[in-house]
């Protein structure tokens, strides 16, 4: 498969409509890390998690914010992230 450019990977987000497309995105993101690692700002898990936290805080206060933060299922997101720690 050809390498994905950052903007095309970002465009895949708009196509996520269900569990299967979310899983596909996660796999594409993992592959992108392997094939385009120099483009990644956050190469360690701690930097990656801190960046997610910082982006969430900053973007939610941004005029460009287009996310309905009240409708997200935060428990499910937290469970998915936590299982990345322990699941084999």
Contact of 34 with 47, CB cutoff 8 Å? no
Q: Is 16 helix (H, G, I), strand (E, B) or coil?
A: coil
Report the domain count for the chain: 2
Q: DSSP label at 55?
A: H
For residue 26, give its domain range. 1-40
Q: Are residues 30 and 47 in the same domain?
A: no
Between CA 58 and CA 56, with CA 5 as vertex, the angle to 5 degrees is 15
Buried/exposed 46-67: b ≥16 CB within 10 Å, e otherwise: eeeeeeeeeeeeeeeeeeeeee
Q: Is 41 helix (H, G, I), strand (E, B) or coil?
A: coil
Q: Are residues 53 and 12 in the same domain?
A: no
**Entry pTM:** 0.85
pLDDT digit of tens for each residue in the chain (88 aa)?
344 455 689 999 999 999 999 999 999 999 999 999 999 999 999 999 999 999 999 999 999 999 999 999 999 999 999 999 999 9
């Amino acid at each position: 498969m050809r390498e994905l450019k950052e903007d095309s990977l970002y465009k895949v987000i708009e196509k996520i409509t269900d569990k299967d497309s979310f899983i596909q995105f996660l796999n594409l993101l993992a592959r992108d890390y392997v094939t385009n690692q120099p483009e990644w700002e956050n190469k360690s898990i701690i930097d990656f998690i801190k960046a997610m936290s910082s982006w969430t805080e900053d973007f939610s206060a941004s005029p460009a914010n287009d996310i309905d933060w009240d409708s997200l299922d935060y428990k499910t997101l937290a469970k998915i992230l936590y299982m990345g720690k322990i699941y084999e």
